[in-house]
Amino acid sequence: MQHPADVRCDQPTRRAAVPVVRLEHIHKVYHLGEVDVHALRGISLEVYPGEFVAVMGASGSGKSTLLNIIGCLDRPTRGKYFLDGQDVSGLSKDERADIRNRKIGFVFQGYNLLRRTSALENVQLPLLYNGTPTAEAIRRAQRALAIVGLQERAHSFPNQLSGGEQQRVAIARALVNNPSLMLADEPTGNLDSRTSIDIMSVFQQLNAERGMTILLVTHEMDIAQYAKRIVIVRDGRIVRDEPVKNRRDAAKELAEMPPLEEEEEAVI
């Protein structure tokens, strides 16, 4: 297997930079009664600032377990994890919650928005936990909503928004703390194909224009091809790690699609 650092000659400063994520021989074993489930079996991985990585693999291959460890929601049974150069493998639950709030933005398949809470308030939530003054929190939440193109919907509730809009709110919430790393677990899993491309255009834009480092889990090759690098996991191990060839451009694809009305008529 070729190491990605050896093939990415477009980023000459890469070796000098501190990786956002550095995993060394990570193992995760879940104890289920009498049974041990060995979900990760020695994962080593480095992700550098500005990368956009898709982690792919079949259901049960360990993708979510890996993402949860990288996101400090869980910790490895064995192995070392350095986040922005800091060893976080041995941190307590509270310490992990603190570092997660400062450094990680999470996007989930099911959006995970609070239902009786406006888009603006949902986006402010991570700022409530770290004591940001209200006026500042509102200002930053508005800016995050503007980045995902939803400034007009700040006062809408989740049930007044489409699935794609709800996922944009979730991305704004993940952005609001200006994290080192954005993590997304099957973010298009609940969306139709056009809306999926739309959401991928948001991730591509964040990566290209703001240099956001993104690690996204998907089981669909179509979606992985919007990333710059694909890591394939099988049975808790990385079996492939390579740059994306023929990378897809979501904004371009959307621009070339017929308007929605025409498409609907065509279906009828």
Ligand X SMILES: Nc1ncnc2c1ncn2[C@@H]1O[C@H](COP(=O)(O)OP(=O)(O)O)[C@@H](O)[C@H]1O
Of the candidate residues 64, 167, 204, 213, the single one contacting ligand X (CB under 6 A)? 64
Partner interacting with residue 158 (select from Mg ion, ligand X, none; CB below 5-8 Å by kind): none
Residues contacting residue 243 through CB under 8 Å, at least 6 positions apart: 4, 7, 8, 228, 229, 230
Q: Determine the residue with CB nearest Mg ion.
A: 64
Partner interacting with residue 258 (select from ligand X, Mg ion, none; CB below 5-8 Å by kind): none
Binding track over 20-39 against ligand X, x by CB under 6 A: ----------x-x----x-x
**Residues 98/104/109/114 CA torsion (nearest 10 deg):** 50
Residue type, 212: M
Q: Map tokens 């952005």 to a residue.
A: 175
> Does 60 contact ligand X by CB under 6 A?
yes
Question: Quick one: 31 or 115, whose CB is closer to ligand X?
Answer: 31
Q: How far is the CB of 87 from Mg ion (least distance, A)?
A: 26
CA distances from 232 to 9, 83, 98, 159, 210 (A): 22, 21, 30, 35, 26
> Does 221 contact ligand X by CB under 6 A?
no
Helix, strand, coil percentages in the chain from 3-state DSSP, rounded to 5: 40, 25, 35
> Does 100 contact ligand X by CB under 6 A?
no
Question: Quick one: 64 or 196, whose CB is closer to Mg ion?
Answer: 64
# binding residues, ligand X (CB under 6 A): 12
Phi first, then psi: what are they for 236, rounded to 5°? 80, 10
Half-sphere exposure of 208 (CA within 13 A, CB side): 12
Question: Quick one: 61 or 118, whose CB is closer to ligand X?
Answer: 61
Instruction: Please report, as ranges, the residues that interact with ligand X according to CB under 6 A.
Output: 30, 32, 37, 39, 57, 59-65
